[in-house]
Chains A and B, each alone.
Chain A
Amino acid sequence: MRLLTVMVAVSVAFGQVGQSNDPEPALQQAIQLHQAGDFTKAIPLYRAYLKVRPNSPDALTNLGAALAHEGKYSEAIAEYSKALKLQPKSPQALANLGIAYYKTGQISQARGEFRLARELMPANQQITFLLADCELRLGDYKAAIAILEPLEKTLAEDQGFDYLFGTALIRDQQTDRGLTWIDRILRRGDSAEARLLLGTTKLDAHDYGAAREDLEKAVQLNPKLPEAHGYLGLALAGIGDAEGAAKAFQTELTLDPFSFVANFQLGVMASAEQRNADARKLFERSLALRPGDAGARYQIATLDLADGKVEKARIALEALVKESPSFTPAHIGLATVYFRLQRRQDGDRERAIVGQLNAEAQAAETKKK
């Protein structure tokens, strides 16, 4: 996927930008090795330099970049953080720290760093794309649109932009607008990305059979396309093929352990089969990927209720209905909690709310038909 290439490029670019002109031979040698791609040998030289000059933000940033190239993201995060303590407005360190968070699935933290980096480098397209991608992954589609919309005219021929912007519009239910971007992508020929977008559009319309066709084509064209297997799983679940859906979610998790859709849906499946311990792990991971996500918090509350932690469930569900008064499942859970706590009046009140919300939903469905 294009975005992945962008991230790697950004990482190298900032590694280079962050180089110091320190004359000491160890640092120079480290930079040379770094540029030659020999990160393994560069790392100890950076460390040697930092032993003598521990307060060099550039050397810390470069060390972080080398560690990131070696896949040692936790160590990289530590070095970038040290650099940022010394130089809080270093765009390179901020961007690289964002990438390290992104690579380790800490999308919320990545978003924070990219936001700061973008303030310092508003014209940097790579940072903009990464920030928009974070917003998409965190489910804040409107924020992604707000970031990308100003670039609509200047980047209209950029395939990566088309894909990101089209995805944001479709996920935000702006289907008609989103379809024009799918058309743009399709004009360049059939592609996995276009099929994924078409599939998700049909999923939103609850046309699961048609969505499955597009999503199967997407994974045929690019079996490693991020999110494609996850959305294929949703389509399969929609047509009642639970087994196929579970396989698709597992494949997605193998490709991307930080997929919110796959973690969350496998959690729902585990919960339905009363494998509560498995379900809890998956929902907790989902919540780590999308902090504050109402669905994941609700699922954890229902597991708490099933495990007899009624008071904990009450606190979580009361917070949820306060934030989202029309979130029917949370009212249902809360009614059950109140009855378990012998608070009949409160339980009856929640049940009345559920009855009203269900009647409204039914009326809306009838009107739609």
Chain B
Amino acid sequence: MILPVALLLAQVAGPSTAGASQQKCGTCHAKEAEALRSSPMAHALQKPADSDLLQKNPDLNFHAGRYSYAIRRQGDRFLYSVSDGTDTLAAPIQWAFGKGIVGQTYLVERAGTWYEGTVSLYSGTQALDLTPGHESLPRRTLDEAFGRKIDSPEMRRCIGCHSTDAVWGRATAPQSVLPGVQCWQCHKDSQQHAAAVTKGDVRNAKIAKLSTLTTEDLGAVCSQCHPSWAEVSSKGPRGPLNVRMQLYRLTNSRCYDSADRRISCTACHDPHGNLETSASVYDSRCLQCHGPANRPVTANACPVAKQDCTTCHMPKVELPGMHYQFTDHQIRIVRPGERYPN
């Protein structure tokens, strides 16, 4: 998934332990660990060599005004470059943000400075286009055209969500980064839990069970990375741009109930697995409340259709330049011609 404000990362100082750590959790939680291995969250950050999207597109070009952009494979690496016809700036891509469901944004380092690439690769078109948020940025010089400079606080925020265990010292670069979301990003005490289990220390092996949390408390866990209602209400964005803030949209739904787990994030999405894109898969979730057997007084049955509920009640919204239709998580009866709510 491409974030509107770019994302990036520095080099890993030590060897990645992601595989080993998943393996450790997988000793007891095999199903979850296996599912997580291929999930989008586990690949929220990738080295270019691990990016299927880049591997499939080894020679990319794009023009914006007087600048020509290119991403080309050169042996094991991918070179990002921009030229004004006279001069060229180039640097290898260090990190790819996102698994590539919507697309990928790239982080490049040039002369000791980190940049979010001006162009991103979109899955919908398998082509480059401007990175979200870059449409309005000035490109008066080749350096400005190259990308947006990223300072360390922004870097910390970006990698805080797209990786696990990013350890930061006083320097602006992370000392170690575990790409993607690993087990203990959400299960905070899992490392202590694993160590205690290994030692047979039953007392310290206790770990919070996220599946027992209320909808609101579980939302607080997800909102570490997916902006909450509170965050979007105070900082925006307003209008269709917030369609990507699923938690915010969901909690604006009339049927949202902080106490009812049937409307929690994990009621529809498996956090360890892949994203289901077929509308029919979600029908059973809707019918948990709107079906004849479980229907409370307020949850009416649909008078129009009996399947593919989300196609009408969670309409798709395409954001300009993103070449992807996002599902609006504000569940509602959509009236013809209505304005995008909230």
Interface residues, chain A, CB within 8 Å of chain B?
241-244, 246, 269, 272-274, 328-329, 332-333, 335-336, 339-340, 342, 344, 347, 351, 354-355, 358, 362
Contact = CB atoms under 8 A, between A and B. Distances in A.
A243 B258 contact: no
Contacts of B157: 272-273
Contacts of A274: 160, 224
Nearest to A339: B258
Contacts of B154: 242
Contact of B216 (A242, A269, A340): A340
Interface in B177-219: 214, 216-217
A243 B259 CA distance: 41
Contacts of B160: 273-274
A336 B229 contact: yes
Nearest to A354: B233
B228 interface: yes
A355 B252 CA distance: 11
A99 B258 CA distance: 52
Contact of B228 (A244, A328, A336): A336
B156 A342 contact: no
A339 B216 CA distance: 7
Top-10 shortest CB links A-B: A243-B151, A242-B153, A339-B258, A342-B259, A339-B216, A332-B230, A336-B230, A332-B233, A340-B216, A332-B234
A243 B234 CA distance: 23
Contacts of B153: 242-243, 246, 269, 272-273
Nearest to A359: B238
Task: Determine which residue in B153, B220, B224 has the highest number of CB atoms from chain A within 10 A of its CB, and name it.
Answer: B153
B187 to A, nearest CB: 16
Contacts of A358: 233, 238
B257 interface: yes
B116 to A, nearest CB: 12
A344 B259 contact: yes
A274 B153 CA distance: 12
A305 to B, nearest CB: 9
Interface in B111-169: 151-154, 156-157, 160
A351 B151 CA distance: 34
Interface of B: 151-154, 156-157, 160, 172, 214, 216-217, 220, 224, 228-230, 233-234, 238, 251, 257-259, 342
A241 B238 contact: no
A328 B235 CA distance: 11
B172 A243 contact: yes
A244 B172 CA distance: 12
Contacts of B156: 273
Contacts of A329: 234
A243 B238 CA distance: 27
Given A335-B229, A335-B230, A342 B258 contact: yes
Contacts of B342: 355
Interface centre among A272, A333, A335, A336 (most CB of B within 10 A): A336
Nearest to A342: B259
A339 B219 CA distance: 11
A328 B229 CA distance: 13
A243 B217 contact: no
Contacts of A242: 151, 153-154
Given A243-B151, A340-B216, A347 B258 contact: yes
Given A273-B157, A342-B216, A351-B233, 9 more contacts: A273-B156, A332-B230, A335-B230, A340-B217, A340-B220, A342-B214, A342-B259, A351-B229, A358-B238
Contacts of B257: 344
A242 B149 CA distance: 12
Contacts of B172: 243
A244 B154 CA distance: 12
16 contacts: A243-B151, A243-B172, A246-B153, A272-B153, A273-B153, A274-B224, A328-B234, A332-B230, A332-B234, A335-B229, A336-B216, A336-B228, A344-B258, A354-B233, A355-B342, A358-B238
Among B224, B251, B258, find the residue whose CB has the most chain A CB atoms closer than 10 A.
Answer: B258
A114 B224 CA distance: 47
Contacts of B251: 339
A125 to B, nearest CB: 44
A358 B165 CA distance: 37
Contacts of B229: 335-336, 351
Nearest to B154: A242
Contacts of B230: 332-333, 335-336
A274 B161 CA distance: 12
A36 B154 CA distance: 56
A276 B324 CA distance: 36
A249 to B, nearest CB: 12
